Chains A and B, each alone.
Chain A
Amino acid sequence: MAVFQEQVKPTGAVMVVGGGISGMQSALDLAEAGFRVYLVDRAPAIGGTMARLDKTFPTNDCAMCIMSPKLVDCGRHLDIEIITGATVKEVAGEPGALKVRLEQRPRYVELEKCTACGDCTRVCPVDVPNEFDAGLGSRKAIYKLYSQATPNAFAIEKNGVSPCRAACPAGVNAHGYVALARAGKWNEAWELIRRALPFPSVCGRVCNHPCEEECYRAQIDAPVAIRTLKRYITHRAMDGAAREPRQPSGRPVAIVGAGPAGLTCAAQLARRGYAPTVFEALPVPGGMMRVGIPEYRLPKDLVAREVALVEQEGVKITTSRALGRDFSIDDLFVQGFAAVFLALGAHQSQQLGIPGEDLPGVLPAIPFLREVALGSRPVLGGRVAVIGGGNTAMDAARTARRLGAAHVTIVYRRTEGEITALPEEIAEAREEGIEFLMLASPLAFSGTGRLESISCIRNRLGEPDASGRRRPLPVPGSEFTLKVDTAIVAVGQRTDPEVLARLGLELTRWGTIAADRTTMATSRPGVFAGGDVVTGPSMLVDAVGDGNAAALAIDAYLRGDGSASLAVRPARERVVESRANPGLTPRARRVTPRLLDVERRVSSFEEVALSLTEEEAMAEAARCLNCAVCCECQQCVAVCGPKAIDHGDAVRIRELDVGAVILSPGFDLFDARARTEYGYGIYPNVVSSMEFERMLSASGPFQGHVTRPSDGQEPRRVAFIQCVGSRDTECGQEYCSAVCCMYATKEAIIAQEHIPGLAATVFYMDVRAFGKEFEYYYSRAQADHGIRYEKCVVSTVKELQVNKNLVLRFRRADGTMGEEEFDLVVLSLGLRPPASARELAAAAGVQLDEYGFCVSPALSPGATSRPGVFVAGAFREPKDIPETVIDASCAAARAAELLSPARGTLTRKKEYPPEKDVTGRPPRVGVFVCHCGINIGSVIDVPSVVNFASRLPGVVWAEEFLFTCSQDSIERMVQRIEEHALNRVVVASCTPRTHEALFRESIRAAGLNPYLFELANIREQSSWVHRFDSRAATAKARDLVSMAVAKARLLQPIAGQEFTIDHSALVVGGGASGMAAALSLAGQGFQVHLVEKEAALGGNLRHLQRTLEGDDVGAVLDDLIAAMRSHPLISVHLESTVVSTSGYLGNYATRIQGPDGELEVKHGVVLLATGASEGRSPEYGLGRHPAVLTQLEFEERLAAGELPGTVAMIQCAGSREPGRPYCSRICCSEAVKNALYLKELSPGSTVVVFYRDVRTYGFKEKYYRKAREQGVIFVQYDVEEKPTVRYSGAGIEVEALDPVLGERILVRPDYLVLSTGVVPNDNAHLSQVFKVPLTQDGFYSEAHLKLRPVEFAADGIYLCGLAHGPKLLEESLAQARAAAVRAVGLLAKPVVTGKGSVARVNARRCTACGLCVNACPYDARAIDAKTGAAEVRAILCQGCGACVVACPSGASELKGFEKRQIMAMIDAALAEEV
């Protein structure tokens, strides 16, 4: 317990890290105890692993059903702030005054605005595996973690940008349009492309697709055919593209050159509100797209159409106007243009510079292609040589072929390895009969009057040159002559140098215009340049990129904005790393477009590549891996009604002051791929336990239908393989994961419920059914469900190819090998520290243990290595839900003890205006009908429902909202209440489970009592279930509204009653747990009375010597007793027992019989910590033979110095058998402890342990291993064949069958030590006094086995320690603190407010029959002896209504659900429509 300097008050706030069941429990406990809580989770919603579970053992409760109330409580609690998507970066300061730095990832969806309508997911084109469903099924990039998620809002997963997108020089969002293509959204995809690229159908054909070079899909098979998809998109979308032309307005900008760079710049400027005019030297616009690329690759009408679309944007194009010939730059400025963009292109062919180049018959390629493109058909002769190896050379060669040249030869100076043309170009040229003459250079063209031949020389390759390609070196003497009719020179292109020279601009040494590559600015202010005229000949997308950049730059220049971002494409750093998994992702063949027949190709200019089919296009798009997840296509933004989406959201850093931190980040599951012999990730029908859990779940990807992944068939034979990633030193998972035996049993049972007749086999090492009620569950699994348990280790899993069944090979207990075939194999995955553990531990300054879990001293549960930082749940050790919940409350208790002086200093209180008195006023009902985006509105005719509602009696106002729950609608509703003096409110929307509280609070804020509200659920009950029948759904919605209005008219204000309480506690039992609970309560500032029946405190602790971990129990006992004695708030009553009690929650008066007679104690709460005892069954001679001892007795003998040479231990002596069927949980650990104790004292001793299953769960497994390593012999026995014990004089003989040897063995021990288990004390008396239930085994029965492990169903009574069930000392100590903090949740309140909607009794009708008393599960009913009628203890009543149903005379009624209200609803439902 930390001691603060007097004047320093700690901070009354706590941060809980991790929002699973553990974090939620800690948060709720602390908030109830008067502290402000920050509940931080990395995920976009709290809920943790439990939210993913289907059912829970051993009660088979639905996990979500029992957990969701806690989700809702956390979400609504005024003192809990949920911070999602956040990680802890640093915890600084001292206990009580810590400063936590958080980094919160952007959510991209504003929590306050999102109404969770889900419209965004319907338009999101990105499908990614749903990790919540263990990768089964898929979700969208914008998603809600699960349907009940808290906060109930969507989030976008965005991991940077995809590589394809960043690769595009033009800044086209390739990932986005591929994703939209996948969804068949052709128009949307087309629009997205056109944002950055006005020429999608051009680029879809001729782009050099740098995006495909970066595609991570190549790591699996081949890149996505992005360019081909783009072409298909234009094919589908362009026809519907006609739109109203934009009228140019704004400042004029001149653009010189109507090629891709110029037109792109013009289009972008027009969209930004400028008036661009494009001047083009040629008679047609389009630049190289129009006059460079041949028709067969790019039909000219497509260019024309896309140029026309640019004009529609508001761009004016003037052709046949050349810069330097018809006008100058100065002229442009004189004409009033505000800026000039030069995009002249490179339309002049480079020359070879060899003799004869001016002979007729030697054609430069660019003019040749231009003339053909403009319609001329030159005669070339039969033999054509094309000099060069770029795409232009291919174009020239293939064009020549189409013009009738029979023999076309490409002469290239290097080899095909160095050629720059695209591979498909070369391949298609080859198909068309073009020949390639490699490693040859022309020396001269010769002929008389006209070209006749080319003299050439052969080359060899030398060292690489500046371009990285090997330099061609002429081979002396290898000259030869090529006879040709025409030669086309395609060795490069440039801008006319004469034109450039006259511009008066600075040029580069390559003769291009010098322009800044970011600002595109030339040496003259206001003049910008881009495209080939700056870069030299380059690719189409590069030119488009320059056009985009120039538009940004010109805009920034004209606005005088020096800080505007000029980036056309996402920064390289934002590119995600590849997550492609070549082993796991199924391969899929990349689509190859079909080509036109070669015969037709060479005889015409028809387009060569044919279009895809829709199926091919969608299948190709589906190959995309969605590397960045969100593709930023902005579809969600367009449909979001409340405008909640902000793609510009950024990381936020928050610094928070807290007094303490609780770490509960949970756990991860073992990656089963590490155990390669089971084939997980390779065999489809081998699934993980979490995948199987999600398959079973009704809310899972298959709606609870269990099927085999390979073929969708129901499995008939299912195998569970246990300890995958547990008890396995080879993969670094030495410990036992504690939960897998039971969850596998549960999954087997539930699977059987889904598929009757299913045969399940569990392959296990030890079945560790050690928890409360677990052994019954395990027994029922075998007896009632026929689940087979096979004790063995499975060595391999093989897959049969004929049916994808799996063959397990294993060694049976008797040593024989078995092989068995199954339809499905489930791997029971062990628990690992969360992936975030190291980062979190470093930030929080706590130590991790050798496995990577948080270090926490066993006897100081909840503590970490750093004071003020606590730990709970599986982050400390793998554990089940009840232990996790106990841990969470224990950690909360520790924080509450530490911060006790600051209790209530940071809590919030909501201030409301005074309540309006509506008594006696006629009802004035307001009805608000919700569209819920399109959830309701697309099915139900909402206006007609509003119209109908407005005519209902009592209704004075009816209105519709797109989202009634959005902030602006709520404000409007409050306004309407004022304007129209509404005194009853009906909302017709969704379920009261999620929204009733919000609406009630809203009308309270308008001054109305919150119970003057009624909700009609027209979504779940109408639009969702009748979505295919609009008429009927609308009619039903009207009925529901009519019923709600009928009830609303009769609603009356209800006030929750306030009760004062006694702020002290009674603890019964002075053992470890009783003392720990008392100290925690006192440490939190509350008076405690502790009653102990013995003359001394300590209970069982007085007999224990040490723990398995070696801690000294005596020292713990001394510390506890000393603390008890010295604490001023604790009064101890020794040799005392509870006689009777009266009163209930908050106000008890209990009579105690002590050594000095009876006394009465007043207190507000009760904690039962009455302990349990070591069992003593007479089996195996206990009590009859002096050498037969219990474990406790043996421990005392060892402590006293006795060192027996040989010891035999028999486990489960009297346990797990009829008579005492439960497992006592601790005996295996105790036996291991004492065996190791003896081995430590006397290493030469022999210890033989006869056991049924060794249940050293969690980290206790380490000691079991250690015991075996130290030579302790463990012999397994079956209950049908127990060890036999004989006595011969003073000696003992133990004989048993050793299943490993297959023979009987005989041990003659000095001591026979029996693990006799834990038996409850006589709890019957106290269970009568406090009216609390017992289990069939005689332990106290808590409110709920899973989630309420320290309290009884009736409020105000708590339990802990062995009285709850067998457990280890550390577990008792944790549970004691847990019980204490739950009690403080009540004690900390100045007054307790009962629920509003509680039962009441009409005393005149009551006959005091007592049926309601029996019906009430909360002890809220009693017969008042004075009045002779039933009474309601309103503080205890939970408003369940059971008493109302039970009452035969109609005397019981539930407020808010009165008979006349219900009858009015029925009448309204049955009434003819008005």
Chain B
Amino acid sequence: MKYSYYPGCSLGATAREYDLSTHAVCSHLGVELAELEDWSCCGASSAHSTNHVLAGALPARNIALAQEAGHDLVVPCAACYNRLKRTDSLLAEDPRQRRELEELCQFTYTGTVAVRSLLELMDAVGLSRIQEAVVRPLSGLKLAPYYGCLLVRPASVRRGDNPDHPRALDQIMEAAGATVCHWSYKTDCCGGALSIARAGIVKELVDKILDMAVDAGASALVTACPLCVANLEMRRSRRHTLPVLYFTELLAVAMGLEGTRAWFRKHLVDPYPLLRSLGLVG
């Protein structure tokens, strides 16, 4: 299984541990990730709300590159994924916009490569395969799977999982032996792009999500979005202690892979004490 890999801006910076754990897990599962050559910004942070043309052209350029590379494109960041996925569906379904974007990016859209989130990649790998790779089941770890607002919306583009009650991440974590908490805030917005401009609003949203995760009995949140992790760790009230982890980090723990300790250090809320108390890490 070979894929083109689109890290986006955060996986080289704030979400370094997401990048590293993704590579570790994928390689362990026999999935080859080849970074997309000459990839550029997807436009998620501001382009899509300020410039209509750029909002389409930035993702389209990357889709054009992926098409050239000839492999499905894996996008770990939820915001990048959302931009790329929506643009891909525009290219597929709106002939007028497709012509415009093709002209701008100088390519012919063929629809031959699919844009996939990491969750979708795991779906392609198969839960049984993941389960087989687990050597240290995450027993005792109670997780609130948090998808955020971007991974599963809009439902018309991201078909398959229930847009308000997705299960993909839940199933992956169950396959890794964790206990998944039932809660209904898994797709609520954490405040995303408002983190800098309206930190007060974000704090309110983040606290609500963390409160609800605690009520649900979770001892940690698990997610697949760098923006969510940043917000949930940074914009919270002091009373909250819940760690937030990328699902790839936990898969790496369950698969007994090396290097997890270094990733945990990159978190603002250290997940190590929790995982150690459960005997999941040494």
Contact = CB atoms under 8 A, between A and B. Distances in A.
A1446 B165 CA distance: 65
A1391 B58 CA distance: 87
Contact of B184 (A583, A683, A802): A683
A944 interface: no
Interface string B176-194: 0000011111000000000
A800 interface: yes
Contacts of A682: 165, 184
Interface in A583-630: 583
A801 B183 contact: yes
Interface string B229-250: 0000000000000000000000
B212 A677 contact: no
B215 A801 contact: yes
Interface in B148-168: 155, 162-165, 167
12 contacts: A583-B167, A676-B162, A679-B164, A679-B165, A679-B184, A682-B165, A798-B184, A799-B183, A799-B184, A800-B215, A801-B212, A802-B215
Contacts of A798: 184-185, 212
Contacts of B185: 798
Contacts of A797: 184
Nearest to B152: A676
B163 A676 contact: yes
Given A676-B155, A798-B184, A798-B212, 10 more contacts: A583-B165, A676-B163, A679-B164, A682-B165, A682-B184, A683-B184, A799-B183, A800-B215, A801-B212, A801-B216
Nearest to B208: A798
B217 interface: yes
A1272 to B, nearest CB: 30
A677 B167 contact: no
A801 B164 CA distance: 16
B181 A801 contact: yes
A798 B184 CA distance: 6
Nearest to B166: A676
A1316 to B, nearest CB: 46
A800 B216 CA distance: 8
A732 to B, nearest CB: 14
A676 B183 contact: no
Contacts of A677: 164
Contacts of B212: 798, 800-801
A802 B212 CA distance: 9
Contacts of B215: 800-802
A676 B154 CA distance: 13
Contacts of B167: 583
Interface of B is mostly: loop
A676 B181 contact: no
Q: How large is the interface on A (under 10, 10 to 19, 20 to 34, 35 or more residues)?
A: 10 to 19
* 10 residue pairs, one from A and one from B, having the closest CB atoms: A676-B164, A801-B216, A799-B184, A801-B215, A798-B184, A802-B215, A682-B165, A677-B164, A676-B162, A801-B183
Contacts, number: 32
Interface string B194-237: 00000000000000000010011100000000000000000000
Contact of B162 (A583, A796, A802): A583
B113 to A, nearest CB: 29
Interface in A782-810: 796-802
A800 to B, nearest CB: 7
A676 to B, nearest CB: 4
Q: How large is the interface on B (under 10, 10 to 19, 20 to 34, 35 or more residues)?
A: 10 to 19
Interface of B: 155, 162-165, 167, 181-185, 212, 215-217
A906 B153 CA distance: 62
Contacts of A800: 212, 215
A676 B165 contact: yes
B165 A801 contact: no
B162 to A, nearest CB: 5
A988 B71 CA distance: 81
A800 B213 CA distance: 10
A682 B167 CA distance: 12
A800 B215 CA distance: 8
A583 B167 CA distance: 8
Contacts of B163: 676
Interface string A656-693: 00000000000000000000110100110000000000
A417 to B, nearest CB: 10
Contacts of B181: 801
Contacts of B217: 801
A801 B211 CA distance: 11
B140 to A, nearest CB: 16
B129 to A, nearest CB: 13
A797 B188 CA distance: 12
A1267 B74 CA distance: 47
Contacts of A801: 181-183, 212, 215-217
A427 to B, nearest CB: 14
Nearest to A676: B164
A677 B162 CA distance: 10
Contacts of A583: 162, 165, 167
A557 to B, nearest CB: 47
Nearest to A221: B174
A435 B183 CA distance: 45
A802 B182 CA distance: 11
Contacts of A796: 164
Contacts of B164: 676-677, 679, 796
A677 B163 CA distance: 8
A677 B167 CA distance: 15
A801 B186 CA distance: 13
A1107 to B, nearest CB: 37
Contacts of A683: 184
Contacts of B162: 583, 676
Nearest to B213: A801
A414 to B, nearest CB: 17
A679 B185 CA distance: 11
Nearest to A798: B184
A1416 B275 CA distance: 83
Instruction: Give the one of B164, B167, B212 with max A CB within 10 A.
Output: B164
A730 to B, nearest CB: 10
A609 B171 CA distance: 31
Contacts of B216: 801
A684 to B, nearest CB: 10
B257 to A, nearest CB: 22
A801 to B, nearest CB: 4
A797 B165 CA distance: 12
A717 B68 CA distance: 59
Nearest to B156: A730
Nearest to A681: B165
A583 B184 CA distance: 14
A600 B235 CA distance: 58
Instruction: Give the one of B162, B184, B185, B217 with max A CB within 10 A.
Output: B184
A800 B185 CA distance: 9
A972 B217 CA distance: 69
Contacts of B182: 801
A586 to B, nearest CB: 11
Nearest to A806: B184
Instruction: Give the one of A679, A682, A801 with max B CB within 10 A.
Output: A801
Interface in A133-152: none
Nearest to B174: A587
Contacts of B155: 676
A799 B212 CA distance: 9
B191 to A, nearest CB: 16
A677 B188 CA distance: 11
Instruction: Give the one of A676, A683, A796, A797 with max B CB within 10 A.
Output: A676
A566 to B, nearest CB: 39
A1195 to B, nearest CB: 42
Interface string A1062-1105: 00000000000000000000000000000000000000000000
Nearest to B165: A682
A683 B162 CA distance: 14
Contacts of A676: 155, 162-165
Nearest to B212: A801
